[in-house]
Structure 1
């Protein structure tokens, strides 16, 4: 397969890309993300290892809004 080629303007900034046909046809076969079902279980608890005391954090955030 050929390499991807970049097209630059006179200032040296990338403006376009030339993609090999084989790669382009493969990208057309990628499934549309709108039709793919979302599985929340894949993302649930991503931060559970980082936040050791989530109840304390939630309490602290709530107290910010109590301006007695």
Structure 2
């Protein structure tokens, strides 16, 4: 995942005042898995990507 996308994930989550634990519960994955996504060591699958961008209000065309 590109750095700009990772920084957008982190900033959007923090704007919503959510911890990684809270956000991972909302999107249905473990905190450790979501932390790896934010760190860039794992990429989310298609369905998880849909959940992340939906919950954070990121336009899909900006995700690419």
TM-score, structure 1 normalization: 0.21
The structure carrying a bigger strand percent of its residues is 1
Could you say which structure has the greater relative contact order, defined with CA pairs below 8 angstroms and 6 or more residues apart?
2
TM-score, structure 2 normalization: 0.21
The structure carrying a bigger helix percent of its residues is 2
Q: Which has the larger radius of gyration?
A: 1
